[in-house]
Amino acid sequence: YAATMLLLVNSANCQMAGFALITVGWLLSATSMGLAEWRVWHIDNASSFPPGIACVGMWRVCIYHHNSNISKAKFCHQYTFLDDFLPADIHLSQYLLLAATILGLLGRGFLILALRNVYLGIVQKHDINSPFIISGVLNIIASVCITVAVLHNYSCIRHLRGIAFPPSFRLPFKPDSQEAGSAALVASLGAFLMLLSGIFSLFYTFPLDSQVHPMS
């Protein structure tokens, strides 16, 4: 039994690292969803709109106006799924990031179940391998969802796509220039870590020697 436990634990060392990766990756992706710095708009045409910078996120836009007395004045406006002024690309990214958060959480749960089976010495191959496989698939799908949202964001920036914000927001349909913000980088890192965790889970190898030392 001691030999079986040692084989099982040693065989899951890589998956333990995967657990750390999925935890950090999931936190990064969930955090990026709430950040406003997905697109950074530079507004320089002072004749129509106050000059400044607008950070456009998935759930809010924050505006930094340059004033004579105050270097930057911040105003944030929240929005939801129900706001019809949002373009389809933002709605799609909202759904993708929410799906990634849920799938990543489920993937982490299955990975915990798989590691629990390993460290409790459950030696049936099916009982250990299945949760690892399910976790790996869920984490990879979550990573793909985040990656699609990030690429969609970059595509909108590259093609200078605008957003018809309500007049009360005091924002133009398109900025003078725009660039990717830090939230996209945070999401990309989270997607990469979740992908690595998923690969580690899929490549778990059940130790063959443990089959000859069943639990008594």
Share of the chain above pLDDT 70, in %: 78
Angstrom distance (rounded) from CA 129 to CA 97 = 28
First to last CA, the chain: 8
Domain range annotation of the chain? 2-35+82-205
* Statement: the pTM of the whole predicted model exceeds 0.85: no
Q: Which residue, 88, 85, 89, 90, is CA-closest to 167?
A: 85
Q: Which fold has domain 2-35+82-205?
A: Butyryl-CoA Dehydrogenase, subunit A; domain 3 (1.20.140)
Q: Report helix, strand or coil for 93.
A: helix
Q: Does the structure show a pLDDT above 50 at 164?
A: yes
- What was the pLDDT predicted at 23? 92
How confident is the model over 141-160, as pLDDT tens digits? 999 999 999 999 999 999 88
Cβ contacts of 40 within 8 Å, gap of 6 or more? 53, 54, 55, 56, 178, 179, 180, 181
Q: Mean of the per-residue pLDDT values for the chain?
A: 82
Interacting residues of 95 by C-beta distance below 8 A, sequence separation 6+: none
Read off the pLDDT of residues 182-207 as tens digits, 9 standing for 90 and up.
Answer: 999 999 999 999 999 898 888 765 55
pLDDT at 152: 93
By CB neighbour count within 10 A (0-12 exposed, 13-18 middle, 19+ buried), where does 122 fall? Answer: middle
More confident position, 114 or 56: 56
Tokens 């799908």 -> residue:
141
Residue 210 has pLDDT above 50, yes or no: no
